A = this chain, B = another copy of it.
Amino acid sequence: MASAKKASDRRDQLILATLDAIRDRGIANLRIQDVATRAGVATGTVHYHFNDLDQLINDVYAWACDRFYTTRLNALAGVEDARDQLVLMIDAGVPESENDALVIAMHDIDLYRRGNATMGLLLQALYERQVALYFAALQLGVAQGHFRLSGPVVDLAQNLVALEDAYELHIISGNRSAAPDRARELILGYARTVTSCADLQLRR
């Protein structure tokens, strides 16, 4: 028997195991057993902490959205220059590889729950938070005198998020014509054009 842990620790452990399981098997093939195996517990343990598969997936999605957003927000903390902010966001917005469990899970769950009204609202909320981040950086860059925008701020912000989303999708689908480095460069190219700011470079 796996030794008893505090309930919240076990929940986090199971959520992480679920992310891995979704990445490895796809959400359509996700079995409770996959999660249990990866967490090193019995299937009953998964049911003990999450009533059923539906609830597990919901909780994983909520956890992932939260992690996704707060990670970025934290990355921006202490960055003053709008150019650095924008580069940082683009950099963080593109998954490192096609095996990024967080990104994969979010896209898988989005499609898995398509048609579910609640899920649509959650997706929209996440989208709008991302748009708001780009919006703020663009606006700041204008104020700082670094950016001259080619169109309405919100339009540019929405397109930046869209490009991120699209390249996430292509990367996790294994499209070699839109690999991570290429994707970053393409989004940066877009950013340079619409901000008229040639001084946007990845510094890694």
Query: Complex Cα distance A127/B182, Å?
Result: 15
Q: Are A151 and B189 in contact (CB under 8 A)?
A: yes
Knowing A117-B174, A167-B162, A178-B127 are in contact, say whether A112-B28 is a contact too (CB < 8 A).
yes
Q: A186 interface residue, CB < 8 Å from B?
A: yes
Q: A148 interface residue, CB < 8 Å from B?
A: no
27 A-B pairs whose Cβ atoms sit less than 8 Å apart in the complex: A24-B115, A27-B28, A28-B112, A108-B111, A115-B174, A117-B174, A120-B173, A123-B170, A123-B174, A123-B175, A124-B176, A124-B177, A127-B170, A127-B178, A151-B189, A155-B185, A155-B189, A158-B178, A159-B163, A159-B186, A162-B166, A162-B167, A162-B170, A162-B178, A163-B163, A165-B166, A165-B170
Copies in the complex: 4
Knowing A114-B26, A165-B166 are in contact, say whether A189-B123 is a contact too (CB < 8 A).
no
Q: A169 interface residue, CB < 8 Å from B?
A: yes
Tell me the count of chain A residues lying within 8 A, CB to CB, of chain B: 49
Listed in ascending order, the chain A residues whose CB lies under 8 Å from chain B are 24, 26-28, 104, 107-108, 110-112, 114-115, 117, 119-120, 123-124, 127-128, 131, 150-152, 155, 158-159, 161-167, 169-170, 172-178, 185-187, 189-190, 193-194
